[in-house]
Structure 1
């Protein structure tokens, strides 16, 4: 099993935690860029969350 396969398997098993980390990373990037790209960052985070595990677990 390759590293990428292991990473995908981890993301599938821990979708909620992965989504939470992606959200925190997005918030930090938004903060560090002075909130200039909030819309783009939010869109990127949402797309990343859709592609991990069973999908976006945020309410």
Structure 2
């Protein structure tokens, strides 16, 4: 292999592996955030709002 090619591959390996690791971490964090938001907006944790009474026409 050409020495320039070896140098470019060596220089590019660490940033590519770092980007893959960060993408994996970001994917896991966004999945956890999605599950957390489902728990927050689940119906049994929301307050019961008073239903307005109908007014009768006289």
Per the normalisation by structure 2, the TM-score is 0.36
Q: Which has the higher contact order (CA 8 A, sep 6+)?
A: 1
Per the normalisation by structure 1, the TM-score is 0.36
